[in-house]
Amino acid sequence: MKKIFIYYSHSGNGEIVKDYFKENGYDIRKVESKRKLPKSFFCQMMVGGMLAGFNHKAKLKDFNYDIKDYDEVVIGSPIWNGKLACPTNTLLSKLDLKDKKLTFVLYSGGGRAPKAIKKINKKYKADIIELKEPKKYKENLEKLTIIK
Ligand SMILES: Cc1cc2nc3c(=O)[nH]c(=O)nc-3n(C[C@H](O)[C@H](O)[C@H](O)COP(=O)(O)O)c2cc1C
């Protein structure tokens, strides 16, 4: 089984999740947005939060979307305004995920993302794991061990 963890991270929580998958033999690819979020938290909420609310697709830096060699794909995404982060929307619009063993790992401030889960469940047959701020609560990474 070839497996890959593909993720976006703005403020480092996704990096902790990435470390877990790297240690567990996954290939790693990181999505980068062409535009960074503003510096202040308030402006981040205004810009990123609003755009995510509209399911906006961010423009991404060059990325290899070819995952045909992989049997298992794990997507890691922050939650913005209850929804998937804008770079994740772009990623999902370009990846061919059919016939993959698929898991989503959603990291957020509150550790719950019902709106994002609803959207994922509409389109994909996937396991979904929610994590509250993995940078701060490393013990929650234990939840990832259900992925077999
Ligand atoms: C623009 C923006 C919107 C956010 N909206 C939410 C939210 O609606 N609910 C929540 O629990 N956390 C929210 N957060 C917090 C992030 O989801 C959380 O810090 C996550 O772990 C960030 O992942 P990262 O550090 O890999 O970027 C938001 C963060 C940003 C920057």
Are the C-beta atoms of residues 140 and 116 closer than 8 Å to each other?
Answer: no
109 lines ligand 1 (CB under 6 A): yes
Mutating to test ligand 1, I would choose from 7, 81, 89, 143 the residue with most ligand atoms within 8 A of its C-beta, which is: 81
- Count of Cβ atoms closer than 10 Å to residue 90 Cβ: 19
Domains and CATH numbers, the chain: 3-146 (3.40.50.360)
The residue whose CA is least distant from atom 21 of ligand 1 is 108
- 78 phi/psi in degrees, rounded to 5: -70, 160
Read off the DSSP letter of residue 33: B
87 lines ligand 1 (CB under 6 A): no
- What is the reported pLDDT for 148? 79
Would you call 34 helix, strand, or coil by DSSP?
coil
| Confidence tier at 60 by pLDDT (50, 70, 90) | very high
Q: For 97-113, what is each residue's pLDDT tens digit? A: 999 999 999 999 999 99
- What is the reported pLDDT for 71? 98
- What is the reported pLDDT for 110? 98
